[in-house]
Structure 1
Amino acid sequence: MENGDIRPKNNQVNKIYLPIIIAIALAAGVIMGNFFNVFSGNRTFISKSSHKNKLNRLMDFIESDYVDNVNTDSIVDLTVNNILEKLDPHSVYIAKEDMQQVAQSMKGDFVGIGVNFYMYKDSVAIIKPVPQGPSDKAGIKAGDRILFAGNDQLYGRKLPNDSLFSKLKGEEGSSIELTVYRKTEGKQFKVNVVRDIIPIKSVDAAVLLDNKTGYIKINRFAETTYQEFHKALLDLKSQGAESLMIDLRDNGGGYLEMAVDIADDLLQDDLVIVKTKNKKDREDITYSTDKGDFENGKLYLLINENSASASEILAGAIQDNDRGTIVGRRSFGKGLVQREMPLGDGSAVRLTVARYYTPSGRSIQRSYAHGGDEYFNDFSKRYESGELYAADSIKIADTLKYKTLKGRTVYGGGGIIPDLFVPMEGKHGDEGVSMIMQSGFVSYFVFEELDKQRKEFSFLNEKEVADKVLNTDKYYAHFAKYISANGLIFDLAKHKQRVKFYIAAEFVKQLIGDSAYYKMVLGEDNMIKAVLADEKK
C-alpha cells in the first residue's frame, strides 16, 4: 500500500514525558478507531427547531454584513465540532477533505501501485513493495527511489504525503511510468506499473506458535476483517491448531458487525453476543448462529488499555459466555455505538445513537462527565496508580457486579477486566523503552542502516539476519545516536539486550517478511508466554 510516513526532524522533541505522550497516542487511536461501529446509513429528516434557524440567520449575517471577509466554512466546521464535544467523546465531525482517507482505511483496499514508502532525504524511498502487488511484479525493490511518476518530479520538492498519494493512485488497470533509482546497483531506469487493488490488511499475522497453538493478530475491525480472520482460522486449523489466541491489543475498534461475526465463529449456537439500546430504550439482541468454525478448543483473547469498542464487544461476549480466557490489562472502556450521517457537502458526523451491553447486561463505558480531555487522559491515571503493573490496583465500583453464564463475577463501568492479568513489559518507569522500540523510529532507523549496506544482507536467511545484528553492538550504538539526534532522551544502557532484540526483529521484518518478524517477537512477548504457560495447566 502507499503508506508514507515522515521521519521526525532533528531536535523536534526536547524531552519525553511518557505518560502524556502515550496517553495522546492512545486517545488518537481510540477516536479514529471508534468512528466505525455501525455501517453507514443515509437518513433524511426535517427539524422544526428554532435553534437551527438561529444558526442559519447568524451565518447569513456574517456573510452579508461582517466587516471583514471570513471563511464561513471554517466557522461552520468549528461550530459543528463544538456542538459534538458537548455530547460525548465519540461523536465526531469528519471534514470533507478527510472523508476519503477515513473511508478508505475501513474499506479494506484501495487502488494504487503497492509500496510502503517514506520521505528520506527528500526522496520517495521504498521501504518494501507489497508482496505480489503491482510494484513487486514490476521489479521494484526495497531501497529503490521513485524519482518521477510520469512527468512529475517527486524528489527535491518537499511534497506532502497527500500530493504523493494522488500521483501514485489512479484507476484500476491504469498504467504509470516510474523513473526509479536503484542505489545498490547505481543505476536509473524506467518501468511501467499497472495499478491494481491493494489490500489494507486488518489481520496483521496468523501463525502457529507451536504444534497446536494458533495466533491471529487483528489491528482493527474493517469491512474485510471477518473474511481475513476466517481464512486465517481455517489455515491454522489445517496446520493442526487446536487452541487459539486472538490478539486485540491496541485495536481501537471498528465495525460492530465484524466483531459479531468473529464471535459467532467462536460461540455455541443461540448465545447472546451483544445487546444495544437506543434513545427510545429499544433493545436489539444479537445471538450466535450455527455457523461457528471454532466453537470448541481453548481460546484466549489478548487485550490492553488500547483495546476499545468492537474489541471490547468481542472480549465481553467471550468472557460473559465463559467461552475463553481474557488475558492482559483492563481495556479502554468504550460502550457507545456510532452511525455515520452525511451532511450534504461531502462531510459527515459520526453520531452516537446507542449504547451496547455485554451478554450479562453490563455496560463497560467509562464516565465522560468531566469532559473529553480527562476521559482520554485515563491512561495517565492508570499509569500513576500502578494499575498497568498490578491487578490489585484496578479500581472498579463493587456495585457494578454481574454474573457470567456459569456464575463467575465480572464488572461493568470501565472496560473489560482480564481473567489473567499480565503487567506492562519492564518495570514501572521503563515504558519509554518499550514505546520507542515498537514505534516508527526503529523502522526508519533500520531502513537507513540497510540503505548503507543492503548487499551485505542480500542472501541471508531469517536466523542469519538476526544473528548478524545481535552479535555486534554496532547497531545498538548507531541507534542510540539516532534517537539522540532526533531529540529523544533515553537511557538505553540498562535495556541494551532488549533494544538489540527489537532492532534485529525489524531487520528481519524488512528483509524477510511479517510472518518471520511476528514469530521472532512473539517468542519474547510476556502475554504470549503467560498464555502458553496457562495452556499447560
Structure 2
Amino acid sequence: MKIDSKYIPIYISAILAIGIFIGSLLDFTIQNQSSVANNSKVKLNKLIDFIDNEYVDDVDTDSIINRTVDNILAQLDPHSVYVPPSEQAEVAENMKGDFVGIGVRFYIYKDTVAIIQPIENGPSAKAGIKAGDRILYANGTKLFGRKLPSDTLFAKLKGKEGSEVALTVYRNSEKKKIEFKIKRGVIPLKSVDVGLMLNSSMAYIKINRFAETTYEEFKSNLIRLKKNGAKSLVIDLRDNGGGYMEQAIDIADELLAGKKLIVFTKNKRGRVERTYSTRKGDFETGRLFVLINENSASASEILAGAIQDNDRGTIVGRRSFGKGLVQQEMDFDDGSAVRLTVARYYTPTGRSIQKPYFKGEEQYFKESEARFKNGELYNKDSIKVSDGLKFKTPKGKIVYGGGGIVPDVFVPLEFENADEATVYLMESGIVGNFVFEQLDKSRNGFKGLSFGQFLNKMNATDEYFIVFKKFISKHLKGIQLDKSKAVVKRYLNAEFARQLYGEKAYYDIVLKDDVMVKKVLSKK
C-alpha cells in the first residue's frame, strides 16, 4: 500500500500556523522624485531590463524578480512575505469562508479520487454521492490512473455557481458505475469546527482560524448553545494560527461589556488606533475559559489577550506563539501579493506579545521547538518572562509581554503516557486515510448502528488498533504504539465516528479525555 509522504506530517514540534491579517491595499506607486531611494529603484528596474534584453541566454526574469522580492522581505521580519499566485489564490479562498464546487471531502487513493464524505446538504450529497465512491470521469476527463496536479483536479470539480458537471462514479459497495449530473453550489469552509455542550451548563466552541465568516459561525453556535442551557463557555483556540483581526475583535465584543478596550495598534509614525467593545454582547456574563497552546497565534492572541487583560475570563493551557505584528496586503496584477508588516498591536494593558525575531527567521520559527527542549511545555516554572515587561490588569493580576500570552492556568503537555510523536501522528491526516481504507472494506458492518452501538462495537475490540500498528510499521520506523494504546484507540474511534456520523461525533469522543477540558471542568 503506497502512502504519499504528504499524508504523514509527524513533527516533534507542532506545525506552526501563521496568522494572516489583510487590510486595505498599500500605495506602492513610485513618485517622480530625485532621491537616493528613488535612484535605487531605477537602478533595479534598469538591471532587470538589461538582463531581459541583452543577456546571452534566455532568462525567466519573473523568477528573478520573485527571488529579489523574497530577499528584500527577508531583511524585514518573519511575517512580511511574498505570496506567489498559486498560493495566494488558495489562501484567499481558505479565508473567504466558502467556495463553489460539488461539495466532497476526498483524497487520492491508489491514483483514484476517493470520496471520504460528501458535505452535508451539499450538491453531491443531494445528488446521491456516497462515502467510498470513486470519481472516474468529470465532464469526460479521466481522473483515475494518472497523477493529475492538484490544481488541475480542483479545476475539474470547481466552477461557476449553478454550472453543471457530469460525473462517472464507481460505487465500490455495489461494484457498479453510476452517472451523475451535479450542479455546482456554494460550499462553506467552516472556521468553527464544532459547538457542543460539555455538560448541562457548559458549552464548548472550537475555532480553527479567523476567516470572513468566523464571527457569524461563532454567533450562531453561541445562540444555539445558550438555548440549550449554556451558562459557561469554553472557546478553544489551540492550533489556531490566526487570520482576520476584525473577526477576533467582533467575537471579543460579544464577550466584553461596553466601552472595554479590546486592542490597539501603533504604526511607524506613532499613530495609535484603539478598538473598544461597543454593542451589547450575547455572553458578557457567565464563566468564560479560553484554551491556547504554543500554536495559538495572531488573531487568537488578540482575543485571548482581550479576555485576560479585562479580567473577563480564564486563559488555560500553554504560552501562545507570540505574534504581535499587523500586516497589510498589496496585490499584483499576476495574482501574487505582498503582505507587509505595517504596525504592532498591543493588548488592553499595553503589552506587545511579539516574541523577538532579531536572530533571523529560522531561529524565530524554531523557537517553539526550543520550548520542548527547555521544559516549558511540561513545567510552568520553565516559562521565561521578563520583569521589565510586567503589566497589571484592572483587578491587579500580573501579565507579561514580550513573547505570547502566558496562561492563567498552566496545563502541561500531557498525553496519558503517550509520547509526543504518537499524539501528533494520531492528529495527522494519515489516520483519516487509514480509517477510510478500513471503512472501504467493511462499511456495511457499521450500517444502521446508533452512535452508542458504534461505541460499544469499537470499545469491544482491538482489531483496528492491531491493523493500524501493522499499517504504521510498514511506513514509519521508531513509532511504538503499544504503550499508547488508549490514546491510539481513542483517536481511531474518533476518526471512524467523524467519517460515519460527522464532526460533532469526533469531538464527543476526543474531548472526553482532553486534559485541558478536564482541567476546566474540574474548576469550581
Alignment TM class, shorter chain as reference? over 0.9
Shift in Å, 1:383: 0.1
Structure 1 residues 136-147: aligned runs within 5 Å: 136-147=125-136
* Residue in structure 2 matching 1:379, options 368, 385, 391: 368
Shift in Å, 1:148: 0.6
Distance 1:450 1:11 in 2: 21
1:46 paired to 2:38: no
Identity of aligned residues (%): 57
Distance 2:223 2:100 in 1: 28
1:120-155 CA deviation, whole Å, 9 max, x = no partner? 011000000000000000000000001111110110
Q: 1:63 to 1:10 in 2, by over 3 A?
A: closer
Q: 1:11 to 1:528 in 2, by over 3 A?
A: closer
The secondary structure found in structure 1 opposite 2:194 is strand
Give the structure 2 partner of residue 3 of structure 1. Answer: none
Q: Residue 490 of structure 2 contacts residue 509 of structure 2 at CA under 8 Å; is this kept in 1?
A: no
Shift in Å, 1:330: 0.1
Shift in Å, 1:498: 1.4
Q: Residue 106 of structure 2 contacts residue 116 of structure 2 at CA under 8 Å; is this kept in 1?
A: yes
Give the structure 1 partner of residue 226 of structure 2. Answer: 237
Shift in Å, 1:18: 4.3
Structure 1 residues 7-156: aligned runs within 5 Å: 8-9=3-4, 18-19=11-12, 22-23=13-14, 25-26=15-16, 29-30=17-18, 34=19, 36-41=20-25, 43-47=27-31, 48=33, 49-156=38-145
Distance 1:293 1:135 in 2: 36
Give the structure 1 partner of residue 304 of structure 2. Answer: 315
Q: Residue 136 of structure 2 contacts residue 142 of structure 2 at CA under 8 Å; is this kept in 1?
A: yes
Distance 1:488 1:447 in 2: 23
The secondary structure found in structure 1 opposite 2:384 is coil
- Output the TM-score relative to the length of structure 1: 0.94
Distance 2:39 2:327 in 1: 26
Shift in Å, 1:231: 0.5
Distance 1:511 1:7 in 2: 24
Q: Which moved more, 1:494-503 or 1:410-419?
A: 494-503
Distance 2:10 2:103 in 1: 36
Distance 2:24 2:444 in 1: 49
Distance 1:519 1:230 in 2: 21
Task: Tell me the amino acid that sits aligned with residue 112 of structure 1.
Answer: G
1:268-323 CA deviation, whole Å, 9 max, x = no partner? 11010001000100000000013311100000000000000000000000000000
The secondary structure found in structure 2 opposite 1:346 is coil
1:502 paired to 2:486: no
Distance 1:11 1:301 in 2: 32
Q: Gaps (5+ residues) in structure 2?
A: none
* Residue in structure 2 matching 1:483, options 463, 469, 472: 472
Q: 1:422 to 1:141 in 2, by over 3 A?
A: same
Give the structure 1 partner of residue 164 of structure 2. Answer: 175
Distance 1:156 1:327 in 2: 48
1:348 paired to 2:337: yes
Give the structure 1 partner of residue 513 of structure 2. Answer: 524
Distance 1:58 1:428 in 2: 60
Q: Residue 261 of structure 2 contacts residue 274 of structure 2 at CA under 8 Å; is this kept in 1?
A: yes
Q: CA RMSD in A?
A: 1.8
Distance 1:397 1:429 in 2: 33
The secondary structure found in structure 1 opposite 2:381 is helix
1:221-264 CA deviation, whole Å, 9 max, x = no partner? 00100011111110100111000000000000000000100000
Shift in Å, 1:496: 1.1
Task: Tell me the amino acid that sits aligned with residue 419 of structure 1.
Answer: D
Q: Residue 113 of structure 2 contacts residue 136 of structure 2 at CA under 8 Å; is this kept in 1?
A: yes
Distance 1:307 1:320 in 2: 17
Structure 1 residues 279-290: aligned runs within 5 Å: 279-290=268-279
Give the structure 2 partner of residue 426 of structure 1. Answer: 415
Shift in Å, 1:488: 4.2
* Residue in structure 1 matching 2:246, options 257, 270, 295: 257
The secondary structure found in structure 2 opposite 1:119 is strand
Q: Gaps (5+ residues) in structure 1?
A: 1-5
Task: Tell me the amino acid that sits aligned with residue 323 of structure 1.
Answer: R
Q: 1:7 to 1:193 in 2, by over 3 A?
A: farther
Task: Tell me the amino acid that sits aligned with residue 60 of structure 1.
Answer: D
* Residue in structure 2 matching 1:450, options 410, 433, 439: 439
Shift in Å, 1:399: 1.0
1:221 paired to 2:210: yes
Shift in Å, 1:487: 2.8
Task: Tell me the amino acid that sits aligned with residue 453 of structure 1.
Answer: S
1:360-386 CA deviation, whole Å, 9 max, x = no partner? 000000000000000000112100011
Structure 1 stretches (4+) deviating beyond 4 angstroms? 10-13
Distance 2:297 2:346 in 1: 14
Q: 1:428 to 1:239 in 2, by over 3 A?
A: closer
Q: Residue 360 of structure 1 contacts residue 402 of structure 1 at CA under 8 Å; is this kept in 2?
A: yes
Distance 2:432 2:302 in 1: 32
Task: Tell me the amino acid that sits aligned with residue 41 of structure 1.
Answer: L
Count of residues in Structure 1 that have an aligned counterpart in Structure 2: 519
Distance 1:41 1:291 in 2: 32
Q: Residue 104 of structure 2 contacts residue 115 of structure 2 at CA under 8 Å; is this kept in 1?
A: yes
Q: 1:486 to 1:453 in 2, by over 3 A?
A: same
Distance 1:291 1:12 in 2: 45
1:372-409 CA deviation, whole Å, 9 max, x = no partner? 00000011210001111111110111111001121111
Give the structure 2 partner of residue 460 of structure 1. Answer: 449
* Residue in structure 1 matching 2:356, options 345, 367, 385: 367
Shift in Å, 1:451: 0.7
* Residue in structure 1 matching 2:257, options 257, 261, 268: 268
1:328 paired to 2:317: yes
Q: 1:361 to 1:11 in 2, by over 3 A?
A: closer
Shift in Å, 1:205: 0.4
1:22-74 CA deviation, whole Å, 9 max, x = no partner? 35x22xx22xxx2x324343535324421111111111121122222111111
1:446-499 CA deviation, whole Å, 9 max, x = no partner? 000111111111111222223322322221111111122223430111111211
The secondary structure found in structure 2 opposite 1:377 is helix
Distance 2:2 2:243 in 1: 28
Shift in Å, 1:187: 1.2
